[in-house]
Structure 1
Amino acid sequence: MDPVDANPPHDAAGIAADAHAAAPLLNCLLREVAEPVGRAADGVHRLKASGRLLRVRGTRRPTGPEVLTAGTWHPLTHTELVKIAAEELRAVTGLSNSELPAEMLDSREAVAALLTARTHTPTPQDPYRRSEQSLITGHPHHPAPKARGGGPAAGWLPYAPEAYAHFPLTLLGVREDTVVEDGDTTALDTLGTAPPGYRLLPAHPWQLALVGGEAADAFTDGRLVRLGRTDGRVWPTAAIRTVCVPGRSSAGSRDADLFLKFSLDVRITNDVRRLWRHDLLKLRRTDRAVTEAFVDLPGAWLSDRGYRTADFAFEELAVLVRDGLDGHVAPGTTPFLAAAFTEGTDAFPGNPLAGAADPQAWWEAYLRAVVPPALGAFHRHGVVLEAHLQNTVVACDTSGTPVRAVYRDAEGVKLLPDVTREAGWERLVYCLCVNNLLEIAAAVTEHHPGVDLWTAVRRQLGRHGEVPEVADLLDSPTLPGKANLLLRWTGADGADARYLPLPNPIRRSG
């Protein structure tokens, strides 16, 4: 087989889509089922089960994959890379899986559709919205970060943040005797007017097109009625099923004073993104614990105030009400999704990390913003924040320097002693150190070579000597890296993390 001849991309968009889709898949392969060979600069890795040699260029987002065949290096298209990955995973695990390769291919096709759509859509002027909608590559260590359920692009593209989507919500009336709600949901009633005997229930148009069964029957028997659409448009955040409801902020013209999170019966990365009953039932307890913790912590928390749904479609039609940014970031500062800092300037124009005049000071300011609230919540309050890049919003001053972290998403929070302190610490280290700090550090190096990364991290962590686990973190040779490729191949539950040891650059020498 000559890989060059197999399904090559013929246009610039196809070549770019291959590169965007291959990078996270290569990161997974090299982390989970391969080992380096020879000098790091050569980029050669051996797949452990088959012994095949792969060669890549770059480290943070590897490109140009090649396989050694009959003594010659042959370039790989994304399709060929998926085939090699599937063969290797079958050999490693002894299991077959037809679903994941299809998701990998779907992810690449989704990237191609997104890149094409962006060429025809104006870039948002609001820098915060631009950051939330910038993640073309997505999760850097997931084999199919942009998969959208395998459906045609026409079904999901109108709701894709990466395509700069904005759209009205569908408004439903749900009969009062079937309403289930908890917490403060009053904000939902400002979106429209329900007829007598009904309560307002906004719905995500994509999710509404997916639901069936009793939810669909409810339109026939009157438990649900259609009330049209919202007057204004919402825009999707990086989470896809969470949308920002625009509104003027007292801090300026920033259009983010309310977020709504919906169910979405589509697999995005590891999970079908439904608002599951068990998570909703514990939502208020979890959110109260985090809200109370942030009373004496730096940074801020976006409260998941409450939810509303229908008893006959509890999960399918649920909507969660979340604080907006108003009141959580100071006037004169600009919020950015932290994950956007790791994107290139083509995907995220105006990236304050790329434009930092003093990158060392920027990095140290970032650490001051994101580390203390996460460690304080854990040690003083038993709250394990899911402090990864997509749950971290960073407010920056007029120079683009980070000044405050805002965390979000009670669904991903764990509380002690619901989980053991040991398990909670491992999860926090993965989210905060591996998923967040290591990724931002790599982006800092890419934009500004020569920044002293790890001395600054050790210094920041050393200020938290009251947390007993910090000393072990500074002395540990490894960090826990989530094995998303093996997790998906073996069909494990997305919340059932599986970790592999990664070299710890934070470790103190000597």
Structure 2
Amino acid sequence: MCDTPAERELAEELAGFRPDLTAAYLAALPGARAAVLARLWRGLVHEPLPWIADRARGGDGLSVRLTDGRLLHGPPSDPWATGTAVAAVELDGVPYDHPASLMAALKVPGGEPFAAELDHSTASLALSRTAPPPAGPPSEPWEWEQRSPDGHPYHPTCRSRPGFSAAEQLAYAPEHRPVVGLRLTPVTGATVRGSWPSQWRDGETVLLPVHPWQAEHVLRGRLVLPGPPAHPLLSLRTLALDRQVHVKTALSARLTSQVRDISAYSVAHARATSELAARVADRLGGRLHITRTLAAAGAGTPDLAVVLRESPYVHAGTGEQVVPVAELSGHFASHDPHRRSARTTEFARLALGVCLELLDLGVALEAHGQNLLVVVDREGRPRRLVYRDLADIRISPARLARHGLPAPPMTGRLLEDDPTALRRKVLGCLVTGALGPLAGSTAELGALLEAATRDLSPTADLQALRTEELPVKALTLMRLSPAGDRWAHLPNPVRGAAER
């Protein structure tokens, strides 16, 4: 049964054009509600929400008291657990089994629009789970990015796609494995950085690749031409044209936390950022490849811009594969438990070593499960890392100078010297977006971090990782109060692992 507007809307659409999926969609709804409710409960238990007064453990779970005296009660919540489900959370004794209904009942600032996003997240997650599982190992490299239906393991709006109909999700979302026909929009006087492909020029006019959803919903009235076919990747608005080139499109829709457009700042600095990051990465002796920005172009507005990037797949040698870290647990799943644990530790040691060393040099990567990929050999051993999408990294001029590296040829938001902000960028993304989901629990994460950092070169950043509370993005707070990144600080599991 469909209980909410978004659930009913998708069900009605499916009944009209894909009735064969209706039963599977309805069957997936209870599990999707429980999965999103678990993510929301994690935020209510662990994030610094201003209307929560205190939290206390009870014999059968956790109680959360609101500043107005009302009481939430639910099951225990491990902030690093993945694949969890919460059947219901009680508010003053009344059980709620739908995250949107619970958020609406809380009646807190920002709760109404967030409840609508939770509704979309639940309905879209159920639709994603109707995608048939992969028939076998990937035969094309982008198929690694189309294997999981569930999205971000900790984000309550993991599958929120407001503005996307059921037909559009089936046509464009990676878990449904479509081929997407991009569009081309002519722009005269476009800003171009890098060498723009000749086939996308018409004299002085530049043809910008456009996502078909953007063409239909945002760029109405503009001339739109047929474009090349492409394969959607984990981020949905980034697509593989082939094994060599990926295209990042502007998508003026809020997916998880952000509207996925491309700023004029990103277009202007994309090439310089890529070149600087690659030069710094060269100091790591081949352990990290930065996917080069080939070109960027825009019309001066964030809703009409594009970045062309080198494909991560070009960095695979004979017999190697390039796997997004978000899909690494699935790659390791076929190994026996001992081998899987060894491979996970090898990856964690490689990723932490690379990201902390690069941070010391002056570049803070946003190394979460989408942006960070790992090159694995025939035996599944992690060999090297590949990083893509430099739009939200941070660069420290002071650290670069300390190592004799030239100052970055840019100004603006990418530059940051504050150690706390730099560590948040690296650790908040790498631990929350990569290592935490691989570990799957606080105890396992503590053991993984302890083993992976034991022999790394000592730096102040490593010391912070091992001794200070772990910074994580407060994903629920960020949706209730959308004013940039907000942070929670969780107990450091490394200390517990060392004590054990």
Q: Same fold by TM (over 0.5)?
A: yes
Count of equivalent residues = 449
Cα deviation, residue 19, structure 1: 3.2
Kindly indicate whether residue 350 of structure 2 is the aligned counterpart of residue 361 of structure 1: no
| Residues 103 and 114, structure 2, Cα contact 8 Å, conserved in 1 | no
Cα deviation, residue 145, structure 1: 1.6
Distance 2:275 2:448 in 1: 33
Which of 295, 300, 314 pairs up with 2:282?
295
Which of 199, 206, 214 pairs up with 1:207?
214
Cα deviation, residue 360, structure 1: 2.6
Bigger drift between 456-465 and 362-371 goes to 456-465
Q: Tell me which residue corresponds to 2:478.
A: 487
Kindly indicate whether residue 142 of structure 2 is the aligned counterpart of residue 153 of structure 1: no
Gaps of 5+ in 1: 220-225, 247-255, 343-350, 446-450
Distance 1:56 1:134 in 2: 29
Kindly indicate whether residue 101 of structure 2 is the aligned counterpart of residue 83 of structure 1: yes
Q: Deviations over 1:174-193 (max 9, x none)?
A: 34xx122012333xx3xx46
Which of 48, 51, 63 pairs up with 2:85?
63
Q: 1:88 to 1:372 in 2, by over 3 A?
A: same
Identity %: 25
| Residues 123 and 164, structure 1, Cα contact 8 Å, conserved in 2 | no
SS of the residue 2:426 aligns to:
helix
Cα deviation, residue 114, structure 1: 2.2
| Residues 135 and 238, structure 1, Cα contact 8 Å, conserved in 2 | no
Q: Tell me which residue corresponds to 1:405.
A: 385
Q: Tell me which residue corresponds to 1:448.
A: none
| Residues 337 and 394, structure 1, Cα contact 8 Å, conserved in 2 | yes
Equivalent residue runs for 1:417-456 within 5 Å? 417=397, 418-419=415-416, 420-442=418-440, 454-456=446-448
Distance 1:271 1:337 in 2: 21
Which of 58, 79, 85 pairs up with 1:38?
58
Kindly indicate whether residue 296 of structure 2 is the aligned counterpart of residue 307 of structure 1: yes
Kindly indicate whether residue 205 of structure 2 is the aligned counterpart of residue 198 of structure 1: yes
| Residues 257 and 326, structure 1, Cα contact 8 Å, conserved in 2 | yes
Q: Deviations over 1:70-121 (max 9, x none)?
A: 87x95x432xx3222344461xxxx2442111111011111222233x1499
Q: Deviations over 1:256-276 (max 9, x none)?
A: 321100100000111111001
Cα deviation, residue 310, structure 1: 3.0
Q: 1:438 to 1:89 in 2, by over 3 A?
A: farther
Gaps of 5+ in 2: 9-22, 398-414
- Normalised TM-score (structure 2): 0.81
Q: 1:500 to 1:331 in 2, by over 3 A?
A: same
Cα deviation, residue 386, structure 1: 0.3
Q: Tell me which residue corresponds to 1:137.
A: 150
Give the superposed CA RMSD: 3.1
Equivalent residue runs for 1:245-260 within 5 Å? 245-246=241-242, 256-260=243-247
Q: Tell me which residue corresponds to 2:364.
A: 384
SS of the residue 2:129 aligns to:
helix
| Residues 138 and 145, structure 1, Cα contact 8 Å, conserved in 2 | yes
Kindly indicate whether residue 237 of structure 2 is the aligned counterpart of residue 262 of structure 1: no
Distance 2:341 2:168 in 1: 44
SS of the residue 1:433 aligns to:
helix
Q: Deviations over 1:117-156 (max 9, x none)?
A: x149977843643331234221222221211124422234
| Residues 56 and 66, structure 1, Cα contact 8 Å, conserved in 2 | no
| Residues 487 and 497, structure 1, Cα contact 8 Å, conserved in 2 | yes
SS of the residue 1:104 aligns to:
helix
| Poorly superposed stretches of 4+, deviation over 6 Å | 4-10, 120-124
| Residues 243 and 259, structure 1, Cα contact 8 Å, conserved in 2 | yes
Q: Tell me which residue corresponds to 2:400.
A: none
Letter in 2 for 1:481: V
